[in-house]
């Protein structure tokens, strides 16, 4: 057992080891208990997924013994099976369920000596409208911000170009032509993701035939909590920006629309600060759990080393996430300053130019910072090839007779079928 399951065991979230050939009554009892555990796991799915990713960081550790690598691989497989089940039957998030299903195939492929690797790891490409909207919104965000900030800086230079009538006139015409499209784009950009999140939340909290029986077994408050955990930041961002931009587009004129935009930037600072606190506090709770485990006097030295290594990876991954959230917070603070310098109360137009330049500079800093942070990202989702290289260097192998079952989890219990060279079912028979 590795560190990730020591923590679950301490919280009473491990599945019981049911004896083989048990009576139907006992099977029902085990299935009911498993369903209760799954409901608890679903409520903590974000922490569970983060902890799983942290565990995966250790799968490329070439210092492990073959036995330790076997245990780490088996627990990664079991945790991926748990997460797939949660995102399939309790939250209905197909692209995440697919991700963890693909992970299981990677782990199976490492020990499937008699099967073609390509057949084991092959996966159908999913197409999901919801994730497509979220991805496109994120992809186009930086180009959108750069375009808007470049336009703002160009228009800020108009008062200084009176000595150049041609250029002065062209920029004035440019400002007039782009004013309405920019105003419409301001609220249209946020609308698709907002509508998608509203629809998906309603789909999960309103009972109906579209809900899996496992998800329907959750209380309304729990289903709402699960959706809020995944979407609260996007809700908070999109709803306010779409509404304010809509008001600016149809009801307000300068200078009133300027003060609305400035208020939105201040709101972004508050939202980014709240996000930083919420996310890091949740992850620090995970650190405290492992630090508490280390204080257990009954742990062997090997167990302490395992937990300490996991804790080191965990802190490394938290530090990476913290850098991302801090960069976002710095970005919003600098944008408040940049927008504030264009305030109509500041008579000298040079402030507007400085603000425009600061906005462009901030965008460049954010782009560069994101690329740097991305390069520093811990390898928490190692590729199949990297896992193969690690297993070869470690000298890992798994006898065919050692493990015989692959799980197919349905409705809180497992249904297994014979399959040589596979990892052990996470739901012990």
Q: What is the per-residue pLDDT across 296-344, written as a single tens digit (0 to 9) for each?
A: 888 888 889 999 999 999 999 999 999 999 999 999 999 999 999 988 8
C-alpha to C-alpha distance for 358 and 361, rounded to whole angstroms: 5
In angstroms, the CA 43 to CA 227 distance is 10
> What is residue 396's predicted lDDT score, i.e. its pLDDT?
63
* Residue 49 reports pLDDT greater than 70: yes
The owner of tokens 């796991």 is 41
Q: Please say if the pLDDT value at position 398 is more than 80.
A: no
pLDDT given for residue 222 in this prediction: 93
Closest CA to 231 of 373, 329, 354, 131: 131
Q: Look up residue 363 and give its two tokens.
A: 């965008």
Whether the pLDDT of residue 123 is over 70: the answer is no
| Structural tokens at position 88 | 């399939």
Burial 260-270 (b: 16+ CB within 10 A, else e): ebbebbebbbe
pLDDT at 23 over 80: no
Q: What pLDDT band is residue 55 in, cutting at 50, 70 and 90?
A: very high
Q: How far is residue 219's CA from residue 197's CA, in Å, rounded to a whole number?
A: 20
The per-residue pLDDT for range 219-246, each reduced to its tens digit, is 999 999 999 999 999 999 999 999 999 9
Average the pLDDT over 240-261 and give the result: 88
Quick one: pLDDT at residue 274? 96
Give the C-alpha separation, 88 to 23, whole Å: 28
Residues 6+ apart with CB under 8 A from 75: 1, 2, 4, 5, 55
Angle at 161 between CA 159 and CA 162, to 5 degrees: 80
Question: Would you say 55 and 72 are in contact if contact means Cβ atoms under 8 Å apart?
Answer: yes
pTM of the model: 0.82
Instruction: Work out the average pLDDT over 404-408.
Output: 38
Please check the confidence at residue 35 and state whether its pLDDT lies above 50: yes
Gap between the Cα atoms of 74 and 104, Å rounded:
10
Domain boundaries, the chain: 3-128+379-418, 141-375
Is residue 240 within 8 A of residue 286, CB to CB? The reply is no
Distance from C-alpha of 334 to C-alpha of 339, rounded to nearest angstrom: 9
The DSSP bridge partners found for residue 416 are 407
- The reported pLDDT for the residue numbered 259 is 92
Confidence band of 406 (pLDDT split at 50, 70, 90): very low
Q: Which one, of 233, 281, 282, 272, lies nearest residue 43 by Cα? A: 282
Output the pLDDT for position 423: 54
According to DSSP, residue 48 is labeled H
Q: What is the mean pLDDT of the chain?
A: 82
Q: What share of the chain is helix, strand, coil (3-state, %, to 5)?
A: 75, 5, 25
In angstroms, the CA 108 to CA 387 distance is: 12
Between these two residues, 84 and 21, which has the higher pLDDT value? 84
- Asked if the model's pLDDT at residue 410 lies above 50, the reply is no
pLDDT tier for residue 399 given thresholds of 50, 70 and 90: very low
Predicted confidence at residue 112, as pLDDT, reads 61
Burial class (CB in 10 A: 0-12, 13-18, 19+), 180: exposed
- pLDDT at residue 54 above 80? yes
Provide, rounded to the nearest whole percent, the portion of the chain with pLDDT above 70. Answer: 83
pLDDT-wise least confident of 190-204, 336-350, 394-408: 394-408
Spatial distance between the Cα atoms of 43 and 193, rounded to a whole number of angstroms? 24
Q: Average pLDDT of 85-108?
A: 90
Q: In the chain, pLDDT over 90 holds for what percent of residues?
A: 44
User: What length is written for the chain?
Assistant: 429
pLDDT at residue 18 tops 50: no
Query: Which tokens hold the place of 381?
Result: 């989702």
Long-range contacts of 118-121 (CB under 8 A, 24+ apart): 121/384
Banded model confidence at residue 193, pLDDT cuts 50, 70, 90:
very high
């Amino acid at each position: 057992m590795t560190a990730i399951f020591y923590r679950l065991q301490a919280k009473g979230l491990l599945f019981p080891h049911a004896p083989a050939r048990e009576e139907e009554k006992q099977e029902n009892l085990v299935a009911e208990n498993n369903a209760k555990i799954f409901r608890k796991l679903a409520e903590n799915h974000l922490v569970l997924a983060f902890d799983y990713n942290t565990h995966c960081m250790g799968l490329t550790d070439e210092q492990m013994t073959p036995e330790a690598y076997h245990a780490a691989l088996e627990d990664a497989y079991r945790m991926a099976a748990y997460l797939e089940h949660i995102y399939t039957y309790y939250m209905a998030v197909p692209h995440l369920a697919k991700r963890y299903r693909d992970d299981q195939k990677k782990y199976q492929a490492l020990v499937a000596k008699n099967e073609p690797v390509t057949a084991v790891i092959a996966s159908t490409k999913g197409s999901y409208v919801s994730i497509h909207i979220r991805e496109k919104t994120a992809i186009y965000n930086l180009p959108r911000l750069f375009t808007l900030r470049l336009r703002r800086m160009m228009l800020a230079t108009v008062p200084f170009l009176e000595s150049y009538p041609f250029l002065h006139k062209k920029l004035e015409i440019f400002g007039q032509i782009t004013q309405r499209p920019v105003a419409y784009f301001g609220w249209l950009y946020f609308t698709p993701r907002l509508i998608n999140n509203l629809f998906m939340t309603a789909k999960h909290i309103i009972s109906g035939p579209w809900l899996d029986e496992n998800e329907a077994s959750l209380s309304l408050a729990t289903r709402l909590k699960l959706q809020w955990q995944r979407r609260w930041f996007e809700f908070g961002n999109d709803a306010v920006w779409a509404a304010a931009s809509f008001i600016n587009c149809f009801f307000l004129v300068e200078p009133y629309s300027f003060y609305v935009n400035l208020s939105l930037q201040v709101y972004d600072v508050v939202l980014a600060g709240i996000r930083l606190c919420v996310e890091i506090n949740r992850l620090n709770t995970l650190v405290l759990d492992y630090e508490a485990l280390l204080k257990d006097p009954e742990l062997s030295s090997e167990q302490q080393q395992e937990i300490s290594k996991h804790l080191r990876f965990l802190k490394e991954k938290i530090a990476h996430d913290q850098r991302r959230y801090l960069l976002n917070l710095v970005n919003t603070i600098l944008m408040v300053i940049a927008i504030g310098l264009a305030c109509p109360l500041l008579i000298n137009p040079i402030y507007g130019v400085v603000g425009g330049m600061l906005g462009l500079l901030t965008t460049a800093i954010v782009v560069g910072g994101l690329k740097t942070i991305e390069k520093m990202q811990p390898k928490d989702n190692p590729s199949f090839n990297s896992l193969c290289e690690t297993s070869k260097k470690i000298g890992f192998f798994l006898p065919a007779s050692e493990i015989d079952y692959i799980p197919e989890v349905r409705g809180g219990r497992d249904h297994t079928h014979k399959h040589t060279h596979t990892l052990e079912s996470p739901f012990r028979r």
